[in-house]
């Protein structure tokens, strides 16, 4: 378990590349149940399990790309395609007896709580991305959902392998809400997690398309907007539906999906009482008397038929 930052970006890439990535205990249990029913399990069934766990998803992609990607005209960009290329029985053989996140962090309760909170957030981002991509009639909904699931991958890795550093970053941000996360990361790690993620994507031969979809710099593209807005919505709503950033998120999502505010709130299943309420207006009581502030002294005017003096 790391309790101090590594020397540079290359050192971090080497460290994570040489480590066995743990997966959720629930993922391991579900995969074992599927393996016991291997004759009745399809690649789609396996993909549904994997797509709830960002570390399991990246393990599958990182394994399949060097083996099959170079023999194909295009990258393998979905978990379902990866499982189909591997075959169901070889899949279970490759990923049997995995290390779990819960076992790895059994002596780090704060670290375990932190990583489970992040994973819950990215699961929500993946769900939003999938729903909105489907509504947009995207050419490949799973690619968009997978990009949202993996968008904050290095944050998950940091909580798993260096929980003390992750806690330090979180504490800095909580002490200064105006500080951007990238600056808090650089203060503690000497680098930011997005640069590390790009380097890991390169080292693990992840598909170029997924790297593009995870890069907020490409936010002018509707598919990337889909991913970015799903990630932002999940992050901000984790603080409650009264988070100050959510109104801007709502407007951007409504524009992307071409829907009204009321339709979006309904699709998100947000109860009206959970949203910020507009300030109550103070009604002025009606009165037959003219307010004193409106009474003005007027000069005496001569009558209309009075002769001039």
CATH at residue 74: 1.10.3210.10
The verdict on residue 248 lying in a domain is yes
- List the domain range (segments joined by +) for residue 166: 1-271
State residue 70's pLDDT score. 55
305 located within any domain: no
What share of the chain has pLDDT > 70, as a percent?
A: 87
> In the structure, what pLDDT confidence band is assigned to residue 216 with cuts at 50, 70 and 90?
confident
Overall number of domains in the chain: 1
| CB contact at 8 A, 141 and 134 | yes
> Is residue 83 domain-resident?
yes
Residue 296 lies in a domain: no
Each residue of 136-173: b (16+ CB within 10 Å) or e?
A: bebeebbbbbbbbbbbbbbbbbbbbbbbebbbbbbebb
Average of per-residue pLDDT across 159-170 = 97
pLDDT score recorded for residue 73: 56
Q: In angstroms, rounded to a whole number, what is the distance separating the alpha carbons of residues 253 and 238?
A: 17
Q: Is 134 part of a structural domain of the chain?
A: yes
Tens of pLDDT, residue by residue over 16-41, are: 999 999 999 999 999 999 999 999 99
Q: Specify the pLDDT at position 296.
A: 40
pTM of the full structure: 0.86
Summarize the confidence of residues 292-296 as an average pLDDT: 40
> Is there a domain that residue 114 lies in?
yes
Residue 50 lies in a domain: yes
Residue pair 205/69 in contact (Cβ under 8 Å)? The answer is yes
Confidence of residue 293 (pLDDT cuts 50, 70, 90): very low
Half-sphere exposure of residue 215: CA atoms within 13 angstroms, side-chain side? 15
48: which residues sit within 8 A by CB, 6+ positions away?
Answer: none
pLDDT, position 280: 57
Kindly report which listed range (95-99, 109-113, 176-180, 299-303) carries the lowest average pLDDT score. Answer: 299-303
Residue 88 domain-assigned (yes or no): yes
């Amino acid at each position: 378990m790391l309790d101090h930052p590594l020397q540079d970006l290359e050192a971090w890439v080497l460290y994570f590349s040489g480590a066995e990535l743990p997966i959720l205990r629930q993922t391991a249990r579900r995969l074992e149940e599927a393996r016991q029913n291997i004759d009745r399990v399809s690649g789609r069934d396996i993909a549904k399990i994997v797509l709830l766990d960002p570390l399991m998803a990246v393990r599958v992609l990182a394994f399949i790309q060097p083996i099959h990607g170079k023999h194909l005209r295009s990258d393998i960009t979905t978990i379902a395609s990866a499982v189909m290329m591997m075959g169901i029985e070889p899949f279970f053989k490759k990923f049997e007896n995995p290390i779990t996140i819960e076992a790895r962090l059994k002596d780090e309760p704060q670290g375990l709580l932190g990583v489970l909170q992040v994973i819950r957030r990215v699961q929500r981002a993946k769900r939003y991305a999938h729903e909105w991509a489907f509504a947009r009639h995207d050419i490949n909904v799973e690619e968009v959902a997978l990009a949202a699931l993996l968008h904050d991958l290095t944050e998950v890795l940091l909580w798993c392998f260096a929980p003390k550093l992750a806690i330090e970053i979180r504490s800095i941000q909580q002490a200064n809400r105006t500080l951007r996360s990238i600056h808090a990361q650089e203060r503690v790690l000497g680098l930011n997690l997005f640069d590390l993620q790009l380097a890991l994507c390169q080292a693990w031969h992840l598909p170029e398309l997924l790297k593009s979809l995870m890069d907020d710099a490409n936010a002018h593209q509707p598919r990337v907007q889909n991913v970015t807005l799903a990630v932002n919505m999940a992050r901000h709503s984790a603080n409650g539906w009264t988070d100050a950033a959510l109104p801007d998120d709502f407007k951007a999502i409504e524009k992307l999906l071409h829907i009204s505010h009321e339709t979006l709130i309904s699709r998100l299943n947000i109860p009206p009482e959970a949203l910020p309420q507009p300030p109550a207006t103070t009604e002025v009581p009606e009165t037959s008397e003219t307010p004193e502030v409106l009474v003005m002294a007027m000069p005496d005017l001569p009558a209309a038929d009075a002769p001039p003096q």
